[in-house]
Structure 1
Amino acid sequence: MENEIIFELLEQRKFKELKEELETMHPVDIVEMLEECDQKQQMLIFRLLAKEEAAEVFTDMNSDMRENLINALTDSELEEVMDEMYVDDTVDVLEEMPANVVDRLLMATDEETRRKINVLLQYPEDSAASIMNVDYISLRREMTVAEAILKIRQVGINKETIYTCYVTEKKKLIGAVDVKDLLTAGESRLIEEIMDENVMCAKTLDDKEDVATTIKKYGLVAIPIIDHENCLVGIVTVDDAMFVLQDETTEDISIMAGVSPNEDSYFGTSVLKHAKNRSLWLMLLMLSATVTGEILGHYEEAMAVMPVLITFIPMLMGTGGNCGSQSSTLIIRGLAVGEIQFKDIFRVIFKEIRVAVVVSCLLAIVNGIRIYIMYDQNLTLAFALGLTMMAVVVMAKCIGCTLPLLAKKLGLDPAIMAAPLITTILDTCTILVYFNIVTAIFHL
């Protein structure tokens, strides 16, 4: 309904009313509304936004919309937007832009901001320092509460967060103070009397996903980042942590589905890029299935003697793949939230084996009864398939739970060991187990 009002005002060229309406909207909602506009309408609406709001809207845009906007804005307009943006958001924008656009953006920033940007760009992409904000409020231990509050009033407007202030001495982090403590303490008290010396922090080269998980786990508003000399160099805020966790989750889901990770949105990605991201995985999985075909060829004689054996292959392979996928999904989720670690591998295997025994017995009994009824009360065939089912389920659960843990131990993404790959591995193992059991029971 709100979007309809905006478009109606835009069509009627009632720009004063349109500006007033935009002031009541959240930047995220404005971005969603801009996605429905053509480029000319986007520029018109963007120019009606207040400077602070325009900077937030610019930060929340996708890369394509942002690039179009940069090309259309004048140098003075671009400079106004860049002045209102936080340095860490500016770095995120620069990393997504082509070189010619990056040059123009850097020209729109002042020398001090460019220096801060260059510092952040030097850190590895997956490090905590790459997402930190170098603008934070630093206090001295000998300050009084009144002096600290005065400083917050003077410089807080340019900081991303003022809820936690950090106490430094010769740039080294020695404590932290919440604004709540400042507001409730006497004005004459010293900062060193009320500061918390036990500060949770992270190193510049720590993995950004681990830092984001720490923020989520302990409910922090921000976490300070220190270098190898324990000097405070920046902070990672909760909003940046949320973006990291969202990106990592998106990447894991893509890999688990056998799709190369892609930062662009679904509709913002071209058909050719979608095909490219999916083809490599599908090709690898298709070629790996050749092994299964070769094994089936090895048992041609057994299948010729008992053709009915072929009819059970899809069921066994499907059940094995599904069981393996269930276990791997639960383990990958446990690894992602920190609930499971590699040291728990034997506990995990023991638990999955017990689960597998219960599940396999139920499946074997149901399947055995079905086969006994449908195949002329052939008890031996029902027994062979029931035994195979139990073996396949136990094997699938064990493989499904151990592969993600091994991947994590080797420094790989556990999501690699998800449904497509595990299913392919289990198809091969299932065929081997199945034909070894039936050939032994029927003496084929």
Structure 2
Amino acid sequence: MFELENERTELLKKIEDDLERKQYAHLRDLLLPLEAADIAALCEEMDDKVPLMFRLLPKELAAEVFVELDSDEQEILIRSFSNTELKEVLDELYLDDTVDIVEEMPAIVVKRILQHSDPDTRKSINEILKYPDDSAGSIMTTEFVDLKETMTVEDALKRIRRTGPDKETINICYVIDDGRHLLGLLSIRTLLLSEEDDVIHDIMQTNIISVQTLDDQEAVARSLSKYGFLALPVVDQENRLVGIITVDDAMDVLQEEVTEDIEKMAAMLPSDKPYLKTGIFETFKARIPWLLLLMISATFTGQIISTFENALAAATILTAYIPMLMDTGGNCGSQASVSVIRGISLNEIEFSDLLQVIWKEIRVAVICGVALSAANFVKLMLVDRLLFHNQLVTIPVAAVICSTMVCTVLCAKLVGCTLPLLAKKIGFDPAVMASPFITTIVDAISLLIYFQFASAILGL
């Protein structure tokens, strides 16, 4: 990727200049040393010049660039391709990339893609599309090297040389029997370091970590990250090898899942489009449901204030500190919930750890609450009373505020750490129990605590 923005800007100027002067040979030489992702990033800035730039690239590089483009640019290119050009691009794509493109395109474009795919590819595409979204089967590729256990190393290397150019990876080869049951695997390193007459059965690794076609794709991606694999074999319920998932696909899944969690934690419905590619009405639909729910739930906070209206009238100074107490409680709850949600997503925390999590948050809450209350007491006495000469800020009033602070922080931490785990236990996404939802709950709790202390200490 471009390290500096000015480097990217300078390159764009050169490209525009070459296009304007029709110096296509120079433009081609300018693009060839670049990585596919960088060329795709440049294409996104060129709008209607993308088809021309694309046709200047060699077939293999053009296919890599095509995969890196977003769906809008891909659709523009597909519509501009002749039938021959489309078939050439499709022939260079790996199967899982083709499936990703098919899933993003409108029906008329999908029909054209399938028409110009060879029968075997078309059959494989249809098979992968049958798997549920978010499953391992939906992101796998069927382009891998398979070997038989009776082969010698020499036979295996011959097979890799013959079939390898069409496979997504040859770093790991998978050993299967006549029924395609997964028996073992071995790396290209093992093959190269073995004797030519060694039998695959004797050198293959039989301790295999595999996933099933219906396993959740996020769990699969985390398995790849956990074990440091470049690929994971995908088997059906009868342990027949049907595909592999490579690390690049796993990275895409993790990025999508993190984005989805962030959107849920911000009280928005997940979107599968980039921000600038999402229409205004789509953005509105993603945000309004939670905004309506949170707005309605916030009326409970107003109802609590109304209930204690007489108490506030008797000690109006208490009103000034309501926002501070509610905000502090909401922030404390958000800190706890985000930490727990992240721990859940990384499989560091399970529901069985609930008591341990609660005990930890109680101790943290006590320390935080006391520290915040002490700082707040100093601020009330020195700033509010002495500096601003607010004589209504008395020791009893400060006691109400500081006592509420300690209890609010404790309750907020407990709510923030328990709700995500409870949500996970009953089958909801823990990310839903993030900042906005918890803040609304904590706001109501902090007000109840505040007015209870006010009644007890000030006799309201």
TM range (shorter): over 0.9
Query: 2 CA distance for matches of 1:266 and 1:71?
Result: 24
* Matching residue within 26, 41, 59 for 2:67: 59
Query: 2 CA distance for matches of 1:71 and 1:280?
Result: 37
User: Number of paired residues?
Assistant: 443
Matched, 1:268 2:270: no
Q: Which amino acid aligns with 1:168?
A: I
Query: 2 CA distance for matches of 1:42 and 1:251?
Result: 30
Query: 2 CA distance for matches of 1:227 and 1:121?
Result: 15
* Matching residue within 314, 326, 342 for 1:305: 314
Matched, 1:47 2:63: no
Matched, 1:426 2:442: yes
* Matching residue within 128, 131, 135 for 1:123: 131
* Matching residue within 257, 261, 279 for 2:288: 279
Matched, 1:396 2:412: yes
Structure 2 counterpart of 1:91: 99
Answer yes or no: is the 8 Å Cα contact 2:231–2:245 preserved in 1: yes
Identical pairs, percent: 47
Aligned alpha-carbon RMSD (Å): 1.2
Structure 2 counterpart of 1:379: 395
Query: 1 CA distance for matches of 2:161 and 2:146?
Result: 13
Matched, 1:363 2:372: yes
Answer yes or no: is the 8 Å Cα contact 2:318–2:397 preserved in 1: no
Quote the offset at 1:297 in angstroms.
Answer: 0.8
Answer yes or no: is the 8 Å Cα contact 1:369–1:382 preserved in 2: no
Query: 2 CA distance for matches of 1:43 and 1:296?
Result: 63
Structure 1 counterpart of 2:151: 143
Please show how residues 31-430 of structure 1 align to structure 2 within 5 Å. Answer: 31-39=40-48, 41-169=49-177, 170-373=179-382, 374=385, 376=391, 378-430=394-446
Answer yes or no: is the 8 Å Cα contact 2:152–2:197 preserved in 1: yes
Task: Name the SS of the counterpart of 1:4 in structure 2.
Answer: helix
Quote the offset at 1:251 in angstroms.
Answer: 0.7
Query: 1 CA distance for matches of 2:426 and 2:96?
Result: 31
Q: Which amino acid aligns with 2:122?
A: R
Task: Name the SS of the counterpart of 1:267 in structure 2.
Answer: helix
Query: 2 CA distance for matches of 1:95 and 1:11?
Result: 36
Q: Which amino acid aligns with 1:418?
A: A
Quote the offset at 1:440 in angstroms.
Answer: 2.1
Quote the offset at 1:168 in angstroms.
Answer: 0.6
Task: Name the SS of the counterpart of 1:189 in structure 2.
Answer: coil
Q: Which amino acid aligns with 2:302?
A: G
Query: 2 CA distance for matches of 1:183 and 1:7?
Result: 47
Task: Name the SS of the counterpart of 1:116 in structure 2.
Answer: helix
Post-superposition Cα deviations, 1:195-239, rounded to whole Å, max 9, x if no partner, equal: 000011111111000000000111100000110001110000000
Q: Which amino acid aligns with 1:171?
A: R
What's the TM-score, normalizing by structure 1? 0.97
Quote the offset at 1:272 in angstroms.
Answer: 2.6
Post-superposition Cα deviations, 1:123-174, rounded to whole Å, max 9, x if no partner, equal: 1101111000011110111100111111111101111111000011121001
Moved >3 Å (runs of 4+): none
Quote the offset at 1:415 in angstroms.
Answer: 1.1
Query: 2 CA distance for matches of 1:229 and 1:82?
Result: 32
Q: Which amino acid aligns with 1:442?
A: L
What's the TM-score, normalizing by structure 2? 0.94
Matched, 1:18 2:27: yes
Q: Which stretch of structure 1 is more off in the superposition, 322-331 or 430-439?
A: 430-439
Query: 2 CA distance for matches of 1:186 and 1:204?
Result: 35
Q: Which stretch of structure 1 is more off in the superposition, 285-294 or 313-322?
A: 285-294
Query: 1 CA distance for matches of 2:199 and 2:137?
Result: 31
Query: 1 CA distance for matches of 2:453 and 2:459?
Result: 10
Structure 1 counterpart of 2:6: none
Query: 1 CA distance for matches of 2:98 and 2:425?
Result: 35
Answer yes or no: is the 8 Å Cα contact 2:213–2:234 preserved in 1: yes
Task: Name the SS of the counterpart of 1:139 in structure 2.
Answer: strand
Gaps of 5+ in 1: none
Quote the offset at 1:323 in angstroms.
Answer: 0.4
Post-superposition Cα deviations, 1:365-414, rounded to whole Å, max 9, x if no partner, equal: 11123223425462222222111111000000111111111122222221
Query: 1 CA distance for matches of 2:365 and 2:123?
Result: 58
Query: 1 CA distance for matches of 2:87 and 2:428?
Result: 42
Quote the offset at 1:423 in angstroms.
Answer: 0.8
Query: 2 CA distance for matches of 1:79 and 1:342?
Result: 51
Answer yes or no: is the 8 Å Cα contact 1:371–1:381 preserved in 2: no
Query: 2 CA distance for matches of 1:7 and 1:410?
Result: 56
Q: Which amino acid aligns with 2:438?
A: I
Task: Name the SS of the counterpart of 1:186 in structure 2.
Answer: coil
Quote the offset at 1:268 in angstroms.
Answer: 1.4
Q: Which amino acid aligns with 2:176?
A: T
Structure 2 counterpart of 1:442: 458
Answer yes or no: is the 8 Å Cα contact 1:324–1:399 preserved in 2: yes
Query: 1 CA distance for matches of 2:424 and 2:105?
Result: 32
Quote the offset at 1:7 in angstroms.
Answer: 2.2
Quote the offset at 1:21 in angstroms.
Answer: 2.3
Query: 1 CA distance for matches of 2:203 and 2:168?
Result: 23
Post-superposition Cα deviations, 1:75-102, rounded to whole Å, max 9, x if no partner, equal: 1111111111111111111111111111
Q: Which stretch of structure 1 is more off in the superposition, 67-76 or 213-222?
A: 67-76
